[in-house]
Structure 1
């Protein structure tokens, strides 16, 4: 996997120029460069319970909270993923700025990473259910079934075995990695906030509002200690 390191904010803008006319590339940000590209259901704390079992329990209780009744299986799994359930899905985005936000907004003491993936194939999810696939790792574009998926320009990889990470051995296409040094993280999040990429826009609900206000308060010195309405918008 090609790996480079971001040197400055100016270099970030230069890096993005490469993808301005290339819509096939998707991006994922992780706040620790050592984390593998593994779905939540395949991580150590969730490995002992099958993700299908967890999802079946979720589906029994979820209708009470859903806005409509006729979601298909792909939509339900996508909503479950975006509301925190351990699933075999791994989030990607069409918008590289969203990936930079997730790489830079947490674990300030650690280097983060933005991954760039161009899959050779996509799943036609109109023909197959998410648990009917036999491909080890597949790529698909979900229906916009929630505000979070819409605002984060969401895409997914789906992993037949959630414990299997996407890497050079399992990829179906082009994969590369950009390291985000820890010392650039706060500057990147402030820049992205100015561009309209923050917790409030990516999580358009009360959780996102609370996270955004918390982030603003934690970084109050950046705005000369002016915690007011004008600064928050």
Structure 2
């Protein structure tokens, strides 16, 4: 991790994002506590003390079993049924189950909200600074991995345009009857001598009924993409909008292939938000429409927003 940026105002944060960060695709994560304050950048399952003494094999087995039990109960509670472990794990993450996913956002203001919405205090009562972390390692995205793993299917030759095998000239031109096209009995067409429709060398496994084009893999499983438990590197997953919150927060998930380990310092930048600026930043975010009601488009969000407006800043609803 390089020298962190120190932010003391809302405008300074916007300027830093605009002028100091890489001009590539960026993911942001807001935390109310700094990494240096012992709140490491790791997924929620990595914070489970009960798993520290387990072997990697035992931890993965526990993860799979827990997800299996959770998935068995999904049917009665959600409208969107998960099609694979990635979607099931995303729903579990959304509802608070510890997983190997880490929440990130493509929106820097959303990350600022999570960094400043609640000002944490130390044991002595002193207010703590917070931070926005910027991912710089650019992990592969699951959508890219799907395209990479998709099988290349050999196209089937168009028999209508294939050159015919040479035949010996005959005294009489070939007629429709010789091809069996005018047979009234509906029997199989007969090819004249010299013609062949031998398809033994043609791979038809990738064809759909009635289709002249190769069939492309339709699902993650067909494209042979590993499950979130079988990845060998961190993977960015843009989940389907199983919840309005994911859409509202421009959320993405990072699947960690070593969920018990914290993110390496070389993989992120730190933007420290001074606690003295939290109050003003909260007000400015509320003015810009990046607050409870917008980021949590449900009754919980409305209640949190009213609590802030009326009982925290003595404002108007």
TM over 0.5: yes
State the Cα distance separating 1:83 from its structure 2 match.
1.7
Contact kept in structure 2, 1:51 and 1:86, CA below 8 Å: no
CA contact (8 A) 2:27 2:135 kept: yes
Whole-Å separation in 2 of the counterparts to 1:38 and 1:63: 30
2:13 aligns with 12
Aligned to 1:29: 30
- Aligned partner of 2:198 in structure 1 is none
CA distance in 2, matches of 1:40, 1:154: 16
Q: Runs ≥4 in structure 1, deviation > 6 angstroms?
A: none
Match of 1:134 among 232, 242, 257: 232
Asked if structure 1 preserves the Cα contact closer than 8 Å seen for 2:113 and 2:285, the reply is yes
Higher mean alpha-carbon deviation, 58-67 vs 88-97, is at: 58-67
In the other structure, the counterpart of 2:141 is 122
Aligned counterparts of 1:207 and 1:46: Cα–Cα separation in 2: 31
- State which drifts further: 113-122 or 99-108: 113-122
* Unaligned ranges ≥5, structure 1: none
CA shift at 1:53, angstroms? 2.9
Provide the residue aligned with 1:113 in structure 2. Answer: 131
Query: For this pair of structures, how many residues does the alignment match?
Result: 219
Asked if the contact 2:10–2:281 (Cα under 8 Å) also holds between the matched residues in 1, the reply is yes
Cα distance in 2 for partners of 1:114, 1:162 equals 21
Which range moved further: 58-67 or 207-216? 207-216
The Cα of 1:85 is off from its aligned counterpart by 1.1
Displacement of 1:70: 5.0
**In proportion to residue count, which structure has more strand?**
1
Q: Unpaired runs of 5+ in structure 2? A: 53-58, 121-126, 147-219
In structure 1, the partner of 2:107 is: 95
Does 2:62 align with 1:43?
no
- Name the structure 1 match of 2:79: 67
TM-score normalised by the chain length of structure 1:
0.84
Q: Which has the larger radius of gyration?
A: 2
Partner of 2:66: 54
Tell me how far 1:54 sits from its aligned partner. Answer: 2.5
- How far the C-alpha of 1:23 sits from its partner, in A, is 5.2
